[in-house]
Chains A and B, each alone.
Chain A
């Protein structure tokens, strides 16, 4: 299947450097020659953002896939950008550790790719997003400069936070070649609880009630869709005693809805949505989740589906009236980003309104990539 975003890349040459230095040289030469460069990991999210305005070269990180250093006793790991997320987790597991992020398509997504797109899943409620887990970065700028920011220690305030600047920048400021992360211990036990709160109003009330307790749940999501009542999933981790006690509290909190131990595959609901032809991500205040779902339902797609986390971040598969939905969400202070548009759909801007920061975003881009070499046109405001 070809999406609008990837059509332009079909016949573009691919360079696969083997080292940071090679990548730097390739990028510097492309920049000098005025070529537009599309950085790529495994390409799982290549159609996210707007289609590139120009594309002369794909710069792939697939061969930069080493795990440089796992200092398990310090709970840190350094990995190259092309390292597959699941491969990294497999190296960490025997030490009872993990990178506490549950991205889309972990068996093929790369570290660099999830960072560039700032992809996070259900665990974000407890562990934060990638911005909260990355502690060091190596970034190759368009002119070939190899720049490091942050470091290898969890606590560090020396210099500007380049790791956060790189996270979510969609490869428009530089190519991430290496990242250092803080790690978390694997949980002793986990349990998934599932319940049907009733209608959307009840689901909203219960979600806020749970968030207003001191329960230490890891994730809380609502699964919604056309012609069905919402379902709520809650992930607990910890000791047997802790999980038992929290299950009991949740059970009384949710009554009269019945809380049952659920299958763990409910946490794959986000990926099922992301596999659709038309996918958007939204972010709203947790108190506006029901309103937003109501607006999605009213937008007119007969087969819409959505997953929303208690953080207020959600994913929908729906094609209908995205512009109108975006206007509604933005008027309430939220955002709606189109990740993938069906072939043939009327194209809309992937991002929406960045507010009064646009001039600053453009200036930062200009300072980092004055010739607009990296991913031209894919990012916010035409960056």
Chain B
């Protein structure tokens, strides 16, 4: 249904006219997230300031059958916040208050527009931190983290966003307000926060989020080890895991990504074929003992340079290079695709070799950054859009790499989400009954499918309505969707 002036008028009433954007040049700001290859211009962008305003906007959309997409900071990498053409974007940036900090129970209640790093900033004086740390943490919002179930380098030990979200106040697609989970553990009923976190905006809009915060460990040490190849570095990772250690983070970078990171932030990384970054935290006596063991393992696997960053400044520099790795590629290539796949960690050598072969075949460079501890790969396919056909081959190569991940028993996404970019890959990873079962969940939350409707799943599918009058969906009439 089009966004008529009458509906825009209702949106004005809901949030105040100055919080509704309809001018086409301003709408362009919202046409994509950080995956800029996918764009669509929305009909309107609304910036609600309260839960009630979000409810009012959702009700207007629901009654008029207008799809909406919720948006935080727009740093997503899978097109999850890309608008529906002519639909509504609900931007939560103005809902950015930290509402409650409860140190005795280690809980923080925030609005969705709060920036990830701000949470840590506010609790740091009492030596707490918010554990999920996506590379974009200085700009990405907690609401967006909830939608994507964001990870980060330290989720190997501390878990993902879903581990740290205890409760959510949610506006369902029809405008109903609901409270999923509790500040206490094991709320009654199904694990609704578990289902909602990572649902990529398809089940509703979170308007308040109760987070768990974590006490800063007594000591943190970060080791940098240079190897001749990623194979050697990978063997060291296996050695560390086999020795029964669970570091806070294990990151690996290949030669190309090291070059890029050096060019961008001068982290003083050694020029090597495979760089390993291992962080251990915990009681000081424990960390010291285990770090020695890790150094032995690295040396035995061929590490020719090992550095131990112990001061906060040294550590920050080491991490700066890693966290800047994506953006740094801009220094060595005009365009690039950041991919996000997962493999069982032990398959790393074979998959890397195969990626190398595919890269040669396609004549395109691939830089690799991994969360090596949990097998999360970020291959980055470098290309030049100005060369005819190169973008197309880059996309094909990047998808072939995802297929490799599926073949290896892994996943098409470890932390960026399916969004718009990978929805067609879902049917390669899951069988039809699996997807149909997920659809049952979606239909329970959003029978009309107006919340981010065209994302995550490979093709539109409608919910069989149990009650009320049957009205065929426009997609059904057009023959592009089936009712089930």
Contacts and interface: CB of A to CB of B under 8 A. Distances in A.
Nearest to B441: A160
Nearest to A217: B283
A141 B438 CA distance: 12
Contacts, number: 259
A161 interface: yes
A367 interface: yes
A155 B191 contact: no
Interface in A337-383: 337, 351-358, 360-361, 363-364, 366-368, 370, 379-381
A96 B243 CA distance: 9
Contacts of A335: 182, 184, 186-188
A361 to B, nearest CB: 5
A45 to B, nearest CB: 15
A371 to B, nearest CB: 12
Given A153-B374, A287-B104, A139 B246 contact: no
B144 interface: no
B163 A128 contact: yes
A79 B430 CA distance: 19
Interface string A253-281: 00000000000000000000000000001
B283 A333 contact: no
A283 B192 contact: no
A71 interface: yes
Given A73-B242, A164-B191, A242-B289, A157 B283 contact: no
Contacts of A132: 159, 163
Contacts of B198: 157, 160-161
Contacts of A368: 437, 440
Given A159-B456, A355-B179, A364-B444, A245 B438 contact: no
B426 A71 contact: no
Interface in A166-187: 167-169, 173, 184-186
B194 A216 contact: no
Contacts of B127: 214
A286 B185 CA distance: 10
Contact of A153 (B160, B238, B342, B416): B342
Interface size range on B against A: 35 or more
B183 interface: yes
Interface string B398-431: 0000000000011111111110001000100111
A158 interface: yes
Interface stretch (B11-19, B147-155, B330-338): B147-155
Q: Considering residues B104, B238, B437, which has the most beta carbons from chain A within 10 angstroms of its beta carbon?
A: B437
A119 B286 CA distance: 31
A325 interface: no
Interface stretch (B210-218, B295-303, B385-393): B210-218
Interface stretch (A30-38, A103-111, A142-150): A142-150
Contacts of B376: 155
B151 A145 contact: no
Given A241-B289, A361-B189, A148 B218 contact: no
Contacts of B430: 148, 158-159
Nearest to A139: B437
Contacts of B474: none
Nearest to B180: A357
Given A354-B189, A357-B192, A381-B189, A157 B429 contact: no
Contacts of A158: 411-413, 418, 422, 426, 429-430
Given A164-B195, A212-B103, A156 B344 contact: no
A147 B415 contact: no
B215 A213 contact: yes
B59 interface: no
B285 to A, nearest CB: 4
A168 B436 CA distance: 22
Interface residues of A, number: 86
B383 to A, nearest CB: 25
B440 A159 contact: no
B172 to A, nearest CB: 8
Contact of A214 (B197, B216, B342, B344): B216
B244 A188 contact: yes
B327 interface: no
A215 interface: yes
A146 B433 contact: yes
Interface string B91-119: 00000000000011110000000000000
A141 B437 CA distance: 9
B151 A155 contact: yes
Contact of A155 (B218, B246, B290, B375): B375
A148 B418 CA distance: 17
A238 interface: yes
A108 B192 CA distance: 29
Contact of A186 (B244, B284, B410): B244
A360 B444 contact: yes
B206 interface: no
Nearest to A188: B244
B244 A160 contact: no
Contacts of A118: 186
Which 3 pairs show the lowest CB-CB distances between chains A and B? A164-B194, A242-B286, A185-B244
Given A158-B426, A245-B285, 15 more contacts: A155-B151, A155-B155, A157-B414, A161-B162, A165-B190, A167-B191, A168-B190, A186-B244, A239-B286, A239-B289, A241-B286, A286-B105, A287-B104, A333-B184, A357-B192
Interface of B: 103-106, 127, 148-149, 151, 155, 159-160, 162-163, 172, 177-180, 182-192, 194-195, 197-199, 215-218, 238, 241-242, 244-246, 282-286, 288-290, 342-346, 371, 374-376, 409-418, 422, 426, 429-431, 433-438, 440-445, 456, 466
13 contacts: A73-B242, A128-B163, A155-B155, A155-B414, A156-B410, A158-B422, A160-B438, A168-B186, A168-B191, A283-B185, A312-B105, A356-B178, A368-B440
